[in-house]
């Protein structure tokens, strides 16, 4: 029998704890495949966030550090400055990266810190049960915006790639999605490119992945993908926002 | 061969760290500790080390968290309000049993307080600082030489116990210049099989335990380690202590002033002595209990509103009266008020 598909070695065999239909598992695989294809798994350190991916260290076959909420880029900075020969990446959600960790994110980028951030944007706090996030859409109903996000009271969603692209230290940032096969392929290409830029020692790279949260959006997985396309993509257009590589 | 240099307290902290093998310093400006970071910013590039000015004290301590997880000796420093911001990181360092050296050059508080010397962060340092059950080893130098020596020793102590060692000092010692004998000798190198980025088997640095029994076990194991520290690392200095009727407890800058008052009391025939904790955690309980066998009264001299006095009372199990002699807000106690406190204690107790 021919093997037509194999799980990439950098992923462990542990069953994922993510909800059915959540795209975290898919994004984990893309990160692991990119690192495996580059042959750098043994010299990679991942930094896990606080949020749904807090236990990412269980799913990757590489060294991992679990960081305090929002602090992953600072922790990754410490690792990279101590071990410049290692590949260092953070894996962060929208609350972690764009609310409590905004300062850490912006300054890691501004320093041109030679790390890669995989930013999973699903427009909601997943692990804590679906609260409004910095990337929650105007009008979106969440546990803490029960009447829909009112931008007059709660402000506007943050476009992370657009913001970071203004910084000289950001070498590469791209927004991708994992809603279709075509987009999944493009997402992997972007993630791999980010790691290649890090390996070349060029500076800060970030890939923002539009993602779904069927559980907290209250939609089934397929409807969630439709909602992402209808609501998130117009506000968060896919594309390369910075490429100085 | 050791050499003597004339140096500021804050700079002595930096030089000692470099001598101890620290090549990664992460800081953020705050008075009165700025000379330390400034010195590091000059010296680290010369040593092919890393000086990084973080965007906040929070980030600085998290950079220490990352660097320590990667197995290198690293340090951050701040002053009181900045240490409050580091509290989160200190809890995570403890939860992951990571070694680190953190300096607090104390200033008056609460809030923004002032920039003059203070000892008002005693509770913060000795009772944990951040959330959860944990301890830090807290060293309290009282001279620029001790700023150097304790910092030099703190890295091995941190590595040995996989704990944060806090150097708790104040603006007075930080700004003071004194001659310092520079350390020589070999630093003990510790194997760090738990560190990431060593090119070995997968390592995870983590403080998350969702199963209550696992979290309980991690706490119990950590506290078994803390008991070893309490048994082996209590440090203090006694001055005129052996025959003392009145024991003055004071650490850091306060202890230097207290010493003058004790000399004056002795010249008047009063048997006063100084018990100076060098480790504030573990508190030198054994030395206090022993002193209480003879002494009639204790005085806690502090630049805080009565913080260390609680540990003195606990250490002697309230077997003798303990009074507070203090100034706060950036004001140091003077020898006269300490002498008056000694005279008053003698009056009441003897």
Q: What DSSP line would sit under chain A, residue for residue?
A: --------TTB-SSPP-SPTT-SHHHHHHHHHHHHHHHT-GGGEEEEE-SSGGGGGGGTBSSEEEEPPTT-HHHHHHHHHHH-TTSEEEEEEEHHIIIIITHHHHHHHHHTT-S-EEEEEE-SSBTTTTSB--TTPPTT--BTTBTT---HHHH-----HHHHHTTSTTEEEEEEEE-SSHHHHHHHHHHHHHHHHHHHTT--EEEEEEE---HHHHTS-HHHHHHHIIIIIHHHS--EEEEE--
Q: What is the pTM of this model?
A: 0.97
Q: Give yes or no for A115 touching B (CB within 8 A).
A: no
Q: Name the residue among A57, A71, A79 with its Cβ closest to that of B70.
A: A79
- A230 min Cα distance to partner chain B (Å): 37
For chain A, the domain total comes to 1
Q: What DSSP line would sit under B93-136, residue for residue?
A: HHHTT--EEEEEEEB--STT--SSB--TTHHHHHS-SSSSS---
- The answer to whether the beta carbons of residues A33 and A8 sit under 8 Å apart is yes
A186 in a domain, yes or no? yes
Contacts of A61 in chain B (CB under 8 A): 202
Cα end-to-end distance, chain A, whole Å:
42
Distance, CA of A167 to CA of A106 (rounded, Å): 8
Give bridge partners of residue A60 from the DSSP assignment.
Answer: A11
Residues 186-215, chain B, touching A (beta carbon < 8 A): 196-197, 199, 202-208
Q: Name the residue among B50, B54, B196 with its Cβ closest to that of A65.
A: B196
A15 in a domain, yes or no? no
A44 in a domain, yes or no? yes
Q: Name the residue among B60, B88, B204 with its Cβ closest to that of A57.
A: B204
Contacts of A86 in chain B (CB under 8 A): 70, 197
Q: Give yes or no for B64 touching A (CB within 8 A).
A: yes
DSSP state of B296: S
Give, for all 350 residues of chain B, the pLDDT tens digit.
Answer: 568 999 999 999 999 999 999 999 999 999 999 999 999 999 999 999 999 999 999 999 999 999 999 999 999 999 999 999 999 999 999 999 999 999 999 999 999 999 999 999 999 999 978 999 999 999 999 999 999 999 999 999 999 999 999 999 999 999 999 999 997 778 899 999 999 999 889 999 999 999 999 999 999 999 999 999 999 999 999 999 999 999 999 999 999 999 999 999 999 999 999 999 999 999 999 999 999 999 999 999 999 999 999 999 999 999 999 999 999 999 999 999 999 999 999 999 86
- B202 min Cα distance to partner chain A (Å): 5
* Domain positions in chain B: 4-232, 237-349
Residues 112-131, chain B, touching A (beta carbon < 8 A): none
A4 in a domain, yes or no? no
CATH code, B4-232: 3.40.50.970
User: If you count residue pairs, one on A and one on B, with CB atoms under 8 Å apart, how many are there?
Assistant: 119
- B25 min Cα distance to partner chain A (Å): 10
- What are the tens digits of pLDDT across the range A188-203? 999 999 999 999 999 9
A1 in a domain, yes or no? no
- Looking at the predicted structure, is the pLDDT value of residue A27 above 80? yes
Q: Name the residue among B24, B58, B205 with its Cβ closest to that of A81.
A: B24
What is the extent of the structural domain holding A152? 24-243
- What are the tens digits of pLDDT across the range B298-310? 999 999 999 999 9
A2 in a domain, yes or no? no
Matching CATH topology for B4-232 and B237-349? yes
A6 in a domain, yes or no? no
DSSP state of B245: S
- Specify the pLDDT at position B183: 77
For A104, which residue in chain B has the nearest alpha carbon? B59
B237-349: CATH, from 1.20.1560.10, 3.40.50.920, 3.90.1300.10, 3.40.50.300: 3.40.50.920
**Closest among B234, B203, B252, B238 to B96, alpha carbons compared:** B203
Contacts of A66 in chain B (CB under 8 A): 96, 204-208
């Amino acid at each position: 029998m021919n093997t037509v598909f194999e799980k990439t070695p950098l992923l462990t065999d542990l069953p994922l704890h993510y909800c059915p239909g959540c795209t975290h598992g898919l994004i984990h695989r893309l990160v692991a495949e990119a690192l495996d294809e580059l042959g750098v798994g043994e010299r990679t350190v991942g930094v896990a966030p606080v949020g749904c991916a807090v236990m990412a260290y269980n799913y990757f076959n590489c060294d991992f550090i679990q960081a305090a909420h929002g602090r992953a880029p600072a922790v990754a900075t410490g690792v990279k400055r101590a071990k410049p020969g290692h590949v260092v990446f953070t894996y962060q959600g929208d609350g972690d990266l764009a609310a409590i960790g905004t300062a850490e994110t912006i300054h890691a980028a501004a320093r041109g810190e030679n790390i890669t951030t995989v930013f999973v944007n699903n427009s909601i706090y997943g692990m804590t049960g679906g609260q409004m996030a910095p990337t929650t859409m105007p009008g979106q109903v969440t546990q803490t915006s029960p009447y829909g996000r009112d931008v007059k009271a709660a402000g506007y969603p943050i476009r992370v790639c657009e913001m970071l692209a203004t910084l000289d230290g950001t070498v590469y940032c791209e927004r991708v999605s994992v809603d279709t096969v075509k987009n999944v392929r493009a997402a992997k290409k972007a993630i791999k490119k980010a790691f290649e830029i890090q390996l070349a020692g060029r500076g800060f790279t970030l890939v923002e992945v539009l993602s779904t949260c069927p559980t907290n959006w209250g939609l089934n997985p397929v409807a969630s993908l439709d909602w992402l396309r209808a609501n998130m993509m117009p506000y968060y257009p896919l594309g390369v926002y910075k490429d100085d590589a | 061969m050791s050499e003597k240099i004339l140096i500021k307290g804050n700079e002595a902290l930096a030089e000692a760290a470099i001598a101890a093998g620290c090549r990664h310093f992460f800081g953020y400006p705050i008075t009165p500790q700025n000379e330390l970071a400034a010195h590091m910013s000059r010296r680290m590039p010369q040593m092919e080390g890393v000086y990084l000015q973080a965007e906040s004290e929070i980030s600085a301590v998290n950079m220490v968290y990352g660097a320590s997880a990667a197995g290198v000796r690293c340090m951050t420093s701040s002053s009181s309000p900045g240490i409050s911001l580091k509290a989160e990181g200190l809890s995570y360092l403890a939860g992951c049993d990571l070694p680190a050296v953190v300096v607090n050059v104390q200033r008056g508080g609460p809030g923004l307080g002032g920039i003059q010397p203070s000892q008002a962060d005693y509770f913060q340092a000795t009772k944990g600082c951040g959330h959860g059950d944990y301890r830090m080893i807290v060293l309290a130098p009282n001279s620029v030489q001790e700023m150097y020596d304790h910092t030099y020793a703190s890295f091995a102590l941190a590595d040995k116990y996989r704990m944060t060692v806090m150097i708790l000092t104040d603006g007075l010692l930080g700004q003071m210049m004194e001659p310092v004998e520079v350390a020589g000798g070999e630093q003990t190198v510790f194997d760090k099989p738990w560190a990431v980025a060593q090119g070995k088997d997968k390592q995870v640095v983590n403080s998350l335990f969702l199963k209550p029994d696992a979290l309980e076990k991690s706490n119990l194991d950590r506290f078994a380690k803390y008991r070893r520290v309490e048994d082996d690392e209590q440090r203090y200095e006694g001055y005129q202590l052996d025959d003392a009727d009145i024991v003055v407890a004071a650490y850091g800058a306060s202890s230097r002033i207290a010493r003058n008052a004790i000399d004056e009391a002795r010249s008047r025939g009063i048997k006063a002595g100084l018990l100076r904790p060098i480790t504030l955690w573990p508190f030198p309980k054994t030395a206090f209990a022993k002193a209480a066998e003879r002494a009639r009264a204790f005085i806690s001299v502090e630049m805080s509103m009565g913080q260390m006095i609680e540990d003195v009372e606990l250490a002697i199990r309230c077997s003798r009266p303990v009074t507070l002699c203090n100034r706060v807000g950036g004001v140091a106690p003077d020898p006269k008020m300490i002498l008056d406190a000694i005279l008053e204690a003698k009056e009441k107790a003897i």
